[in-house]
Amino acid sequence: MPKHYTGLIEKYRERLPVAADTAVISLSEGATPLIELMNVPRLARRDVRLFAKFEGLNPTGSFKDRGMTMAVTKAVEAGARAIICASTGNTSAAAAAYAARAGIACFVLIPEGKIALGKLSQAMMHGSVVIQIRGNFDDGMRLVQEVAKTMPVNIVNSINPYRLQGQKTIAFEVIEALGDAPEYHALPVGNAGNITAHWIGYSESVCQNTRACALCAGNCGYHRKKIATRRPIMVGYQAAGAAPILRQRPVENPETVATAIRIGNPVSWQQALAAQQESDGWFGECTDEEILRAQKLLAETEGIFCEPASAAALAGVLKDLDAGRMREGSTIVCTLTGHGLKDPDIAIAQSVKPLTVEAELRAIEHVIRSYLPK
């Protein structure tokens, strides 16, 4: 086995559905940093330990790589020569990259005009066949399922169970970094695969059978390995204009600045509800304004640039701390699902415009004088 890190399948082989001789398609995804926020809790005057699991640092810039290494590995193992997905952008970027690596074809269905520029550029650059549909993600998801019945294409959306298997490893990494599960784990929810995957990962890390464990006196596999002693309370945040789970009905025309989670009828709805209920968690919503404010706060006070959808996790946590819904003194992890560079248009639109001056020393001095902290 190579000494350098070669991705999450090699690392967690025993806990993933792969055989010893499975040929792995990997871009060394996973092993993302868990960054403790130093300034946000202080500015919010909250006594909590707040961590960001920065999934934007995966090879294609989002958590989708965790699922895609598994989905493409298993597709190739099964002899597939083409994969397909519907996407709000990140899934298509990851599918395109892993398909390129595997040397298979990739078809992506995206809502026309509604995916961030960086993501579109990725799908195009990696050579996938990009099909823009005059419809939204939910239309694309339906079409992908229909077309897979008649055409030789392997679906790599999160209805593909291998996607969730790959994505569950985020929980393993959080537990390793903290020594146990956090009290709360917050994340944005769109198609609801990721919250489902987090919950699978946490659930596989604790002893499920407390009665047997009382008998085993700490000698069962889970206790012996001391993976985790608890599971977190799962908190999922949706954009206010695309919050079907919260409203308990599909949203026909979902709308939000966080295009990644612009989804009105999530495929893993029931599994997400189960994760929420089993963990005593809840779903919350954030307005576009709250999402963008949290994105800017992270960028300006912590140096972390995530995309709008990812910031929904922090926006929601700050609200729920204010509302007293999350306990002071607790440890909270937010999954920052994607990198801010994915969506440069949004970043530029909400930032101070660059100054333009003559290429002269005096002009530069003048600017510095005006902006130096007093």
Tokens of 4: 């350098």
Q: Are 277 and 245 in contact (CB under 8 A)?
A: no
Two structure tokens written together for 353 = 């415009």
Report the distance separating Cα 277 and Cα 257, nearest Å.
28
Do residues 168 and 227 lie in contact, with contact meaning Cβ atoms separated by under 8 Å?
no
Segment 323-352, which members bind ligand F0G (CB under 6 A)? 337-338
- Least separation in angstroms between residue 98's CB and ligand F0G is 14
Q: Which is nearer to ligand F0G, 261 or 317 (CB)?
A: 261
**H or E element at residue 37:** none
Q: List strands edge to edge, sheet with 154-155.
A: 129-133, 105-111, 82-86, 154-155
Shortest separation between residue 196's beta carbon and ligand F0G, angstroms: 7
On whether the CB atoms of residues 62 and 116 are closer than 8 A, the answer is: no
- The encoded tokens of residue 125 equal 């650059």
Choose, by CB under 6 A, the member of 88, 122, 169, 205 that binds ligand F0G.
88
CA distance 177 to 33: 9
Q: Which is nearer to ligand F0G, 46 or 90 (CB)?
A: 90
Q: Which is nearer to ligand F0G, 229 or 287 (CB)?
A: 287
For the bound state, the minimum distance from the C-beta of residue 324 to ligand F0G, rounded and expressed in Å, comes to 26
Q: Which is nearer to ligand F0G, 74 or 262 (CB)?
A: 262
Of 32, 60, 69, 87, the one binding ligand F0G by CB under 6 A = 87
Q: Determine, following the binding rule CB under 6 A, whether residue 232 of this chain makes contact with ligand F0G.
A: no
- Among 62, 154, 271, 331, contact with ligand F0G (rule: CB under 6 A): 62
Query: Which residues between 252 and 311 bind ligand F0G (CB under 6 A)?
Result: 260-261, 307, 309-310
Nearer to ligand F0G, 119 or 319 (CB): 119
Q: CA dihedral in degrees (187, 190, 193, 195; nearest 10)?
A: 20
Distance of CA 5 to the CA centre of its chain: 21
Q: For ligand F0G, what does the binding mask look like between residues 162 and 201, x meaning CB under 6 A?
A: --------------------------xxxxxxx-------
- Cβ–Cβ < 8 Å for 250, 191: no
Distance separating alpha carbons of residues 188 and 71, to the nearest angstrom:
22
Compare residues 170 and 227 and give the one whose CB is closer to ligand F0G: 170
Pick between residue 85 and residue 206 the one whose CB is nearest to ligand F0G: 85
Q: At closest approach, how far in Å is the CB of 362 from ligand F0G?
A: 44
For residue 200, what are the contacts with CB-CB under 8 A and spacing of at least 6?
A: 164, 165, 168, 171
User: How far apart are the two ends of the chain, measured CA to CA in Å?
Assistant: 56
**Size of the residue set binding ligand F0G (CB under 6 A):** 22
Residues at the contact surface with ligand F0G, assessed by CB under 6 A: 62, 64, 87-91, 158, 188-194, 260-261, 307, 309-310, 337-338
